[in-house]
Structures are given as structure tokens and as C-alpha cells.
């Protein structure tokens, strides 16, 4: 074990898998230069045949990856910006995600899509969080919150025979954590309790996990015992773990940085209200981004994105009753 940054953990997972399997290749816009940092040094190590720069055509290179996967290759595709996923929706959801079913299981599409979640005053057209859209399309979706989880889950995504969307929150890319040097994988569909508690369950995703942990430490001094649950994989979702935690505490807040309407928090709330209603001591609460475009102004941006202040206020409202 040694301490490395989240982005290094992702890069290490990809590098190890490319060394293990020569059918894996990496493609995207400016990946030979390692613009994002994940593929830095890859072209020197693996050669230009396996590290492929693409034109600015998301629909085009997603289709290329699907075709290559049909021929037995295992592409890894990096999107430059999260909202560029929208340009490729037909290729992603109508093609890659459905070919296995439409072929009666004869065609496998083992493509890994790496999508950065941009944050920080980049305005309406570059700030959307697309994972609820691809989840509704049935695509496996992972959202690691720590360097350890990032390496293990990315490894599992690359080895999976289905298309998998990997979302990397910008706010955690520079965070450090303990990560083993050797290869390992974390199964998709397995969440984790990041902090045990008895009074209330906070289900947090991506960069919101660190904020939920900070809040739980602050409020511990006031006598609140807060359990922090990280689903890690949004689809498949570890429903038994969610159910077990909420049955124990009887109270739940879901904090997630996607839209309120039809977002991930809405799906979790619907599931828990159906499966845990008899155990609930308070209404299920959601803390999400507002259903508006993200403003360019940093001051206004804070008003529409979820954060620690809203979480603390909601915990007070529930527990001080």
C-alpha cells in the first residue's frame, strides 16, 4: 500500500489492464498527449496503434469502439467533457447497450467509457451530470469516490463483457488515498459503509461522500451518530446494503449531484419508500442540484449545487425533532 492520487489510481488500473490484455486499446480526443492525465505516457509505452487520437466526433468514435468490440477487441474510450456524452446517445444506448440483447447474447460489447464530471463555473452547457440518462438506458454505471475504489472499480469495468460508463468527479481527481500496488478488482454492485452510525443514514455519491464524512465528523461532537453509505456502483445498485442500513437507523438523506427530477436520488428514495416504509422514523430527504442550468457565476453556482451546508441543515431538521 502507498498513497497516490485518485487520477493516478485510474491511470494505473488502465495501464495494468493494457499490459495484461493486448486486445485492449485506448482512444479519445488528445489521449496521446494525455491531456486529462489518465493516458499520460501511454503512447510511449504501448505504441500509437493502441493509443488512438480521434476526431471531434463523439458519435463517430463511440461507433468505432462498438464495432471493434464486436470483433473481439476491448476498447477504452475517454470523453473530454461530461456533456459530450449527449452527442453519442444513439450509439451508446440504441446500439452498444442493446446489441447483446438484440443478438440473443451472441454479440458482446466490452467497452469502457471514461467520463470526467466537470465542476467549477463552466456554465450551463458543460456542467450537466449525465449518469441518470445512461442508467435509464440500462448501462452499467460506476462512480468511485476514493483512489482505492477508483482503481478496483475501473479494473472491473474493463474486464466486464458489457459496456460500462465510468464517471470521475473532478473534485476528487487530486485527492490522495492508500492504494495497493498490485492488481485488484472491486465487484460492481457492491456498496460500502464508509462510516458506521446509528441515528441516520446518509447515502452519498462521488465527491459528495467526502463532504458527508466531513459533516459526520463535525456533528459527532454534538452527539449525532451518522452512517455514511457509498453505493460506488449506481447500476447495478447494492439494494440489500441500502435496505439494511436504513432499517437500522430509520432515517435517511440521499445527497447526490445530479438533478432532482428523475435523478439518482429519486430512484433510491422510491426504492427505500417501497422496501423500508415500516422502519422509517422520518420522511426520506433528498439533497440534489436544482432543476436549472448551472450558472457561470460561482456565487450563483453554490445556490444550485448540493453541499455540506444543506446536509447539516437537513440533519438538524430531522434529528432535532
Give the DSSP letter string of 166-221. Answer: EEEEGGGTT-EEEE-SS-----TT--EEEE--SSEEEEE-TTHHHHHHHHHHHHHT
Clarify whether residues 140 and 63 are in a common domain. yes
Question: Is the backbone peptide bond immediately before 202 cis, with ω within 30 degrees of 0?
Answer: no
Q: Which domain holds residue 34?
A: 2-179
Last residue of a domain, one of 124, 144, 179: 179
Tens of pLDDT, residue by residue, the chain (321 residues): 899 999 999 999 999 999 999 999 999 999 999 878 899 999 999 999 999 999 999 999 999 999 999 999 999 999 998 889 999 999 999 999 999 999 999 999 999 999 988 765 677 778 889 999 999 999 999 999 999 999 999 999 999 999 999 999 999 999 999 999 999 999 999 999 999 999 999 999 999 999 999 999 999 999 999 999 999 999 999 999 999 999 999 999 999 999 999 999 999 999 999 999 999 999 999 999 999 988 888 888 888 999 999 999 999 999 986
**Is 186 inside any structural domain?**
no
Between CA 119 and CA 96 the distance in angstroms is 28
**Is 197 inside any structural domain?**
yes
| C-alpha torsion sign, points 165, 291, 213, 195 | negative
Clarify whether residues 117 and 219 are in a common domain. no
> What pLDDT does 119 receive?
66
**Is 50 inside any structural domain?**
yes
* Residue 183 burial (10 A CB sphere; 0-12, 13-18, 19+): middle
Cα-only R_g, the chain: 20
Helix (H) or strand (E) segment spanning residue 133:
helix 131-136
Number of compact structural domains in the chain: 2
**Is 185 inside any structural domain?**
no
Between CA 142 and CA 115 the distance in angstroms is 10
Clarify whether residues 32 and 163 are in a common domain. yes
Clarify whether residues 81 and 131 are in a common domain. yes
**Is 58 inside any structural domain?**
yes
Q: If DSSP codes are grouped into helix, strand and coil, which group holds residue 56?
A: coil
CA angle 214, 257, 35 (to 5 degrees): 95
Clarify whether residues 29 and 104 are in a common domain. yes
**Is 107 inside any structural domain?**
yes
Clarify whether residues 172 and 200 are in a common domain. no
Between CA 247 and CA 242 the distance in angstroms is 9
**Is 203 inside any structural domain?**
yes
Per-residue burial over 139-155, b = 16 or more CB atoms within 10 Å of its CB, e = otherwise:
bbbbbbbbbbbbbbbbb
Q: If DSSP codes are grouped into helix, strand and coil, which group holds residue 161?
A: coil
33: annotated active-site residue = no
Among residues 98, 108, 126, 175, the one annotated as catalytic is 126
Between CA 316 and CA 321 the distance in angstroms is 8
**Is 187 inside any structural domain?**
no
Clarify whether residues 112 and 198 are in a common domain. no
Amino acid at each position: 500500500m502507498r498513497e497516490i492520487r485518485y487520477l493516478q489510481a485510474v491511470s494505473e488500473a488502465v495501464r495494468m489492464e493494457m499490459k495484461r490484455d493486448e486486445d485492449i486499446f485506448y482512444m479519445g480526443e488528445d489521449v496521446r498527449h494525455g491531456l486529462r492525465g489518465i493516458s499520460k505516457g501511454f503512447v510511449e509505452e504501448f505504441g500509437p496503434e493502441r493509443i488512438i487520437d480521434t476526431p471531434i466526433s463523439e458519435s463517430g468514435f463511440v461507433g468505432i469502439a462498438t464495432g471493434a468490440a464486436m470483433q473481439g477487441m476491448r476498447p477504452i474510450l475517454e470523453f473530454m467533457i461530461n456533456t459530450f456524452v449527449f452527442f453519442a446517445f444513439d450509439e451508446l444506448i440504441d446500439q452498444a447497450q442493446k446489441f447483446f440483447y438484440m443478438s440473443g447474447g451472441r454479440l458482446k460489447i466490452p467497452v469502457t467509457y471514461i467520463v470526467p464530471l466537470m465542476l467549477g463555473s463552466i456554465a450551463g452547457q458543460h456542467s450537466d451530470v449525465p449518469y441518470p440518462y445512461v442508467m435509464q438506458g440500462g448501462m452499467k454505471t460506476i462512480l468511485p469516490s476514493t483512489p482505492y475504489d477508483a482503481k478496483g472499480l475501473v479494473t472491473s469495468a474493463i474486464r466486464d463483457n458489457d459496456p460500462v460508463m465510468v464517471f470521475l468527479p473532478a473534485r476528487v481527481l487530486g485527492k490522495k488515498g492508500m492504494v495497493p500496488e498490485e492488481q485488484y478488482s472491486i465487484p460492481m454492485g457492491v456498496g460500502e459503509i464508509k462510516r458506521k452510525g446509528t441515528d441516520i443514514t446518509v447515502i452519498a455519491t462521488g465527491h459528495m461522500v467526502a463532504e458527508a464524512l466531513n459533516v459526520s465528523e463535525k456533528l459527532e461532537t454534538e452527539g449525532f451518530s451518522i452512517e455514511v453509505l457509498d453505493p460506488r456502483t449506481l447500476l447495478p445498485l447494492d439494494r440489500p446494503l441500502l435496505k439494511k442500513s436504513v432499517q437500522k437507523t430509520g432515517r435517511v438523506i440521499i445527497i447526490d449531484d445530479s438533478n432532482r427530477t428523475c435523478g439518482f436520488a429519486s430512484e433510491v428514495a422510491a426504492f427505500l419508500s417501497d422496501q423500508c416504509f415500516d422502519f422509517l422514523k422520518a420522511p426520506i430527504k433528498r439533497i440534489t442540484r436544482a432543476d436549472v442550468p448551472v450558472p457561470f457565476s460561482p456565487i450563483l453556482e453554490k445556490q444550485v449545487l448540493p453541499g455540506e451546508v444543506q446536509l447539516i441543515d437537513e440533519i438538524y431538521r430531522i434529528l432535532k425533532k
